[in-house]
Amino acid sequence: MAPVEAPSTFKRFVQVGRVVLIQDGPSAGKLAVIAEVIDHKRALIDGPSTSVPRQSLTFKHMILTPYLLKSLPRAAGSAAIKKQFEASDVVAKWEASAWAKKRSALERRKKSSDFERFEIMLLKKTRRDVVRKAIFAAKKSA
């Protein structure tokens, strides 16, 4: 009788076809696909749809995403990667994810001017006042 393995909660493995988010370098913030695992520290990545050149990149400079191109062969060329990447609509799935929305909001906040931050503060104060008054009215009527 074979031993029963406990179900693993870890789902993002380093594998060919895994979509990664690049953390560092000129392509930081862009998506790419692992085309080949070179060794325990590096992988060959390619992102023809996101203008990431085919290159060797260390794992510490990439974040594994939950997206995977399942039928991608090892060491696939740029054309094959681009075809599967666009067919699986990874970019649209990524942009719809909460992770990408948080990153874009953070980027938008970093690029905001002093006056825009001041306007945001005023809007937050107004919202806080409306909520406080609604809570007070609900408590008074109850």
pLDDT, tens digit, 9 for 90 and up, residues 23-81: 999 999 999 999 999 999 999 999 999 999 999 999 999 999 999 999 899 989 999 99
Can you read off the two tokens belonging to residue 114?
């002093």
- CA torsion through residues 48, 22, 73, 91, sign: negative
Residue 57 in domain = yes
Per-residue pLDDT tens digits for 83-120 = 999 999 999 999 999 999 999 999 999 999 999 999 99
Cβ atoms 45, 55 nearer than 8 A: yes
Q: Output the pLDDT for position 83.
A: 93
Q: Output the pLDDT for position 133.
A: 97
Number of domains in the chain: 2
Residue 12 in domain = no
* Three-state secondary structure call for residue 58: strand
Do 95 and 132 lie in one domain? The reply is no
Cβ atoms 84, 78 nearer than 8 A: no
Do 94 and 121 lie in one domain? The reply is no
Do 47 and 107 lie in one domain? The reply is yes
Name the residue range of residue 138's domain.
113-142
Do 107 and 118 lie in one domain? The reply is no
Residue 23 in domain = yes
Q: Output the pLDDT for position 3.
A: 65
